[in-house]
């Protein structure tokens, strides 16, 4: 039995986070190019590409896991997760050890996903807070009118 998952129906859109990931990566690359040099900008770009690609694969695997029976896909999901994490660690090790990349630039690029998730969550909290204030003021108006 398969369940359909709508990425746009949730309060925080996964597709919006994915777009913001790439936008933040681009902004950070341009900013590091302006503020620092080409080597740091290259490291930020490579870190951003790695983080965004990992996010895309994680999203794909989570969607597959959520569409099937949880018990049946749990082991497969965990194996894929740890295999991806191990591959990511190896790629980062090789890039930092032998790639002559700026570690701080790489970390900045890798954090693009964390920044976009945080910004999206803050934005959603702001929206929820504004709608709660509107509801509260409407309740006050109704109670004063009666």
What are the residue boundaries of the structural domains of the chain, listed by start? 14-145
Residue 47 has pLDDT above 90, yes or no: yes
d(CA 126, CA 129): 5
For residues 6 and 56, the model is more confident at 56
Q: What per-residue confidence (pLDDT) applies to 140?
A: 64
Scanning 14-111, the segments in alpha helix (DSSP H) are 14-35, 38-67, 70-98, 103-110
Confidence (pTM): 0.76
Count of CB atoms situated within 10 Å of the CB of 53: 12
d(CA 131, CA 145): 21
Q: What per-residue confidence (pLDDT) applies to 30?
A: 96
Mean pLDDT of the residues in the chain? 84
Radius of gyration of the chain (CA): 21
pLDDT, tens digit (0-9, with 9 covering 90-100), for 64-79: 777 766 666 778 888 8
Q: What per-residue confidence (pLDDT) applies to 108?
A: 94
Say if residues 24 and 116 touch (Cβ distance below 8 Å).
yes
Quote the tokens at residue 119: 């910004």
Instruction: State the pLDDT confidence band at 145, using cuts at 50, 70 and 90.
Output: low
pLDDT, tens digit (0-9, with 9 covering 90-100), for 76-127: 888 888 999 999 999 999 988 888 888 999 999 999 999 999 998 888 888 8
């Amino acid at each position: 039995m398969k369940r359909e998952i709508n990425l746009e129906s949730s309060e925080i859109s996964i597709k919006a986070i994915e777009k913001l990931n790439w936008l933040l990566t681009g902004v950070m690359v341009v900013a590091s190019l302006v503020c620092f040099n080409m080597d740091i900008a290259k490291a930020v770009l490579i870190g951003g590409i790695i983080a965004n690609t990992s996010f895309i694969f994680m999203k794909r695997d989570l969607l597959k896991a959520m569409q099937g029976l949880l018990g049946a896909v749990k082991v497969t999901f965990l194996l894929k997760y740890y295999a991806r994490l191990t591959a990511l660690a190896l790629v980062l090790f090789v890039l930092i050890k032998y790639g002559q990349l700026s570690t701080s630039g790489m970390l900045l690029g890798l954090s693009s996903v964390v920044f976009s998730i945080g910004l999206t969550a803050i934005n959603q909290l702001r929206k929820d807070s504004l709608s709660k204030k509107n509801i509260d003021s409407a309740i006050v108006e109704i109670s004063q009118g009666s």
